[in-house]
Structure 1
Amino acid sequence: MTLRQIRNIYVSRLVDLYPENEIVSIFGLICEDLLQMSKSDIMIRGEEPLTHLKEEIFLRSLETLLNGTPVQHITGIGHFYGHEFKVNKHTLIPRQETEELIQWILNDHKDSAVNSILDIGAGSGCIGISLGHAFAKANSLKSSHNVKLFDVSTDALQVARSNAEAIAPDVNFSFENRNILETTSIAEYDIVASNPPYVRDLEKKELHKNVLDFEPETALFVTDEDPLVFNRKILELVESHENPLVYFEINQYLPEEMKKLAADMKFKQELRKDLNGNWRMMKCWR
């Protein structure tokens, strides 16, 4: 078979799971990340016969995709902010919306030195590592400064540590196994960033099978009764600091509740929408 024929098979068999444009993107990730094919290879070699080995890899990957497995779990790679992050069943897959949070933080601090960063609920480390790399590249984060990553999962922290070593080896990262809900105090950091669990049980029906069945529940879900439990706890931990500054990724359906939470705790706040027009980010400070 040729590459074009394989692609057509992907489109016809995955159509009940994904829209066609997403299938084409998935196929591209299989080509690039699993088979190390360049974009030009994909474009100009569509009619060339595939080797038996490559054909087997494509077809085996297709069967795995049909089970609902995310393509990133097949390739082991999640693309985020220009980097390749290792991902697995213990980490959330980095998403484009979170890149917008990174850009907001970088824009806010483009003219200021940053000495310390804390990423709460780090998962693969995409937020903390991307920030550490970007600030170090801009010479506003020195090797003696601190980027700390918290996560409740030791397995996720192993992935984050590996990503930090590969992406930003010159940055001083530290990793701590920490359940933030059981934490009584944290040191003060210039920037605290978090993409905490925020999906309510009632919203599970909106999630794709590849999220529900394959990404870690502890990183995704909160109860319907107290969906802001993580946001509240993080703000409580920083409210006694001299200059608290927290950036959150938030539940798109709860911007007003987030505003009220921050206001009740005497924080100033700013909400922003993502590229899809959903309320997705919030900054809290004093």
Structure 2
Amino acid sequence: MRRLVGDTGFRDDITVLAAQLRAAPAGLDLLVPARRENLATLRSGLDSWLSDIGVHGYHVQLLQHAVGELAANAVEHAYHARQPGLVAVRARLTAAGDVLARVVDQGRWRASASDPDSDRGVGLALVTDLVDELRLEHDKRGTTATIRHHPWIPAQSPIAADLAGRLPRRPADADPFLILGQPSAARHRVRVDGPIDSETAPTLYTELRACTAAGTRDVTVDLTGTTHLASAGVAVLHRLCTQAARNNTEMRLYAPRGTPAQMVMSLARLRHHTTDPDGDGL
């Protein structure tokens, strides 16, 4: 400490700031056919890359949902009434520590106002709320959606980084979509695990509509295990809750604070519970 403070005269209340110089990580470059079943592949690739550059937790959720919405938008709208083309996801970490991600297609832009599928506007609105910046550019060559977000990336020792690199990665298929009845619960209740995106949302609608007898039966929908809630899923849940209200029944959506579903439903202003509405009656 004497060598650090020299002849400054300070002997206590000294703050030491340590900085870590890290090599610039490689960028992400994914290219897949614009099909719903490939959305999970894009999310998995982004998740692995974010882990490689040291982004974890809450910021991973934000970026996963933002990029997922933009990719789903390209899949659903870019090649409307045309042979599906390709969608690319490219990302890099800037010198300022921002994650800069682009979703690129070669289709045709369709403005939300003239789009009969209102889910599109919901998705873009969610992206705007999730990240620091969203920019859309479109011309005859296609559309590029660019997001910029500044995550908090903690410093990591070289030893810890080396150990992390040796850990096995979670396989891409470790996130199955499941709708599970809970017959032992005190009240009618189902649990939804895995991603709810444009591929799985139709199944969610069909199954929940069936288990509520077309909205005439109360139900609690436990979204604790939902790993991704896209705007297509938000639209389905909103539609089902509206149907229940018209029949004087209740669809209770439950997602604890900090979960992906709770984050998205809060942004979408979709009414939900953050504490279990069934209490201890499971």
TM-score by length of 2: 0.29
Is the helix fraction higher in 1 or 2? 1
Higher Rg:
2
